[in-house]
Chains A and B, each alone.
Chain A
C-alpha cells in the first residue's frame, strides 16, 4: 500500500536559518513525488515535483530511492515561507491514487 509520512507536524525556525521538511514514502513501484503548499487563506498549490528537478522560491527536493525520501530543503528561510506543506505521492504505471502526507506547518519567526 502507498503511504506518505511527514514526521513533523510543526517546524519552527528563525528567519535566515536552514529548513528541512521531511517526507518518507512507501511504494513498490516507480514514485512520482510532489510538494504542495498552502499559505494562509490561500488554496493548496503545487510547490515542486521531483520530475522537474527545479528550485522554486529557493526550495529544492531530491528523491532518494534508497532511503525512500523526498525531503524539502531551503538554505535560508524567509518569513513568507510560513505555510502548511504537504508531501504527495502520485503513483505511476498503474492506478492513480494520490496519497498525501498529513502536512507540516512551517513557522518562520522574524
Chain B
C-alpha cells in the first residue's frame, strides 16, 4: 500500500496570502488529522476529519481550516498567512476512529512565510 502522501513538499508564501495543502491517506483509512510542527512548540494537533466530518479541533485560530472529500483525501487551508505560520505541516491517517489506533504520518509540507 502506498503511504500517506502530502503535496506540495515545500511552499514559500508571503504574509497575507493564503495556502492550501493536500493529504492523501493510506487506502482504506477514513481518518485524517493535521499537525503543525515547529522547533519551539513541537507537534501540535490542528484538527481531525473522519468520513468528511471534522471530529476534533485543536487550539488554533479560525484562519486554519480543513475539509475532507468522499475519497478521504483532505486539504488544509490557512488564510491571511502570518510569519509565525512558518512550520512543517504533517498529516496522518488511521483506519478508524478508535483512540488507540496508530497514526501513519506523511513526510510533511514545509511552509515558509516571508
Contact = CB atoms under 8 A, between A and B. Distances in A.
Interface of A: 32, 34, 36, 43-46, 49, 51, 86, 90-93, 95-103
A97 B34 CA distance: 11
Nearest to B40: A102
Q: At the interface, is chain A mostly helix, strand, loop or mixed?
A: loop
A80 B55 CA distance: 37
Interface residues of B, number: 25
B11 interface: no
Nearest to B55: A96
A92 to B, nearest CB: 5
B99 A32 contact: yes
Contacts of A99: 45
B42 A51 contact: no
Given A43-B107, A101-B42, A95 B100 contact: no
Interface in B41-95: 41-45, 48, 55-56, 58, 90, 92
B42 A90 contact: no
12 contacts: A36-B103, A43-B4, A44-B92, A46-B104, A49-B100, A86-B43, A92-B100, A96-B55, A97-B56, A98-B45, A100-B43, A101-B42
Nearest to B41: A102
B90 A44 contact: yes
Contacts of A90: 99-100
Contacts of A100: 35, 42-45
A88 to B, nearest CB: 8
Q: Can you list the 6 inter-chain pairs with the closest CB atoms, starting with the nearest?
A: A102-B42, A100-B43, A46-B102, A44-B105, A92-B99, A90-B99
A90 B96 CA distance: 14
Contacts of A32: 99-100
Interface-centre pick from A43, A51, A95, A103 (highest chain B CB count, 10 A): A43
Interface-centre pick from A32, A96, A101 (highest chain B CB count, 10 A): A96
Nearest to A42: B107
Contacts of B92: 44
A96 B43 contact: no
B3 interface: yes
